[in-house]
Amino acid sequence: MRLASLLNITPGTRLAQPLLDEKGLILLNIGIVLSDSLVNRLLNMGITSVYIEDARTEDVVIEEAISQETRQEALQLVYSTLQSVQTSEQHPRQFYQDLNGRNIRRLFDTVLHEMKSKPDLLLSVSNIYTTDGFLYHHSVNVALMALAIGIEYGLSEKQLLDLGVGTLLHDIGKLRLPQEILNKPGRLTPEEYEIIKQHPMIGYEMLRQQDDISAVSAHVALQHHERVDGKGYPRGLKGDEMHIFGKITAVADVYEALTANRVYRKGHLPHEALELLLGACGTQFDREIVELFLKTVAIYPSGLTVKLNTGETGVIIRQNPIHPQRPVIRVLQDAQGRTVEPYEVNLMDHLTTLITACES
């Protein structure tokens, strides 16, 4: 299988991985034939690329850190939790009755067991979701990235559970903000930005009133927009004034947000987002956390179609764990765009060969 832009798909192509909606339900299952009308419907929903069957890459396996069933459970849990915030705005007490921290901790018991059973696996983050599903998929992806970093950092089991709960709910305060500001397609006014900056404190206060959510989990919501140079919000914390969970979540949150397609902009390519993170190392983000991020997350996941500075086009077929930014590529087209007999290029052996673009 390989990841392909819907704009480049030939009618009759089959889906190789299921698409999940914001509720964790299967939108389209494996094997569905993609017609022109179906492709247009997906594009209108904000989905720009999907995994497809391709005989040239049929041996490429997309190994996930967690099972599809666990991802679905996580989406269902975050969806029901965040929906309860919206439906209980006039009745806050109902939200605190609906939010069950024990269920979330049980979920992360499973997530951690699955992630730790694959210690050498680089985490691949899926950005294939509808525009309406951004907040829910974003929450799950940030939680998975934060846990991958936390495992590498050496956090204890209890700390990882607290981190997982906090990151899954880190944006819960956004549900109390005006949605027209949250999803505004243009630049925010200074007044609107001040409103947006309220969501970490709102989320923190909501979570602190829940007996099943620890204080340190609530601080994830409070600190995920803090920056180590003291220029973040809401409190302008600096350096070690930030909790380690805040430092971890800040990196995961920004990377996931940068690479996601939004109503108002197309997502950055993985290497572009990585360059932005590296450029802010030691100023906005903790250097050690960014370095751990680079070791644990597959910037170029298997199945991704990429273009090289040689002009060739190919598909990522496996990672180099020692240097995730230098994967192994199966070339499918030469520099002139002609289909060729597939051959492999290991970027660890070709240090002047670079990935210059990704199909998304």
Domains and CATH numbers, the chain: 2-57 (3.90.105.10), 68-296 (1.10.3210.10), 305-358 (no CATH)
pLDDT at 84: 78
Question: Which is nearest to 72 in space by CA: 114, 124, 107?
Answer: 107
Q: Check pLDDT > 70 for residue 301.
A: yes
The string of pLDDT tens digits covering residues 56-74 is 999 998 888 899 899 999 9
What pLDDT does residue 232 have? 96
Write down the pLDDT at residue 86. Answer: 67
| Average pLDDT of the chain to the nearest whole number | 89
5/131: higher pLDDT: 5
Other CB atoms within a 10 A radius of the CB of residue 15 amount to: 20
142-186 residue pLDDT tens: 999 999 999 999 999 999 999 999 999 999 999 899 988 988 878
Which long-range CB contacts under 8 A does 108-112 form with residues at least 24 apart? 108/143, 108/147, 108/160, 108/161, 108/164, 108/165, 108/168, 109/161, 110/66, 110/70, 110/73, 111/66, 111/70, 111/74, 111/143, 111/144, 111/147, 111/164, 112/147, 112/151, 112/157, 112/160, 112/161, 112/164
Instruction: Give the model's pLDDT for residue 264.
Output: 63
pTM reported for the whole predicted model:
0.89
Asked if residue 342 has pLDDT above 70, the reply is yes
| Higher local confidence (pLDDT), 231 or 23 | 231
pLDDT at residue 85 tops 90: no
- Residue 95 pLDDT: 53
pLDDT at residue 53 in the model: 94
Q: Is the model's pLDDT at 360 over the cut of 70? A: no
> Confidence band (pLDDT; 50, 70, 90) for 96?
low
| Mean pLDDT value across residues 296-304 | 87
For the beta carbon of residue 266, count every other beta carbon within 10 angstroms. Answer: 10
Residue-wise burial string across 88-105, b where 16 or more C-beta atoms lie within 10 A, e elsewhere: beeeeeebbeebebeebb
pLDDT (average), residues 17-30:
89
pLDDT, residue 167, reads: 97
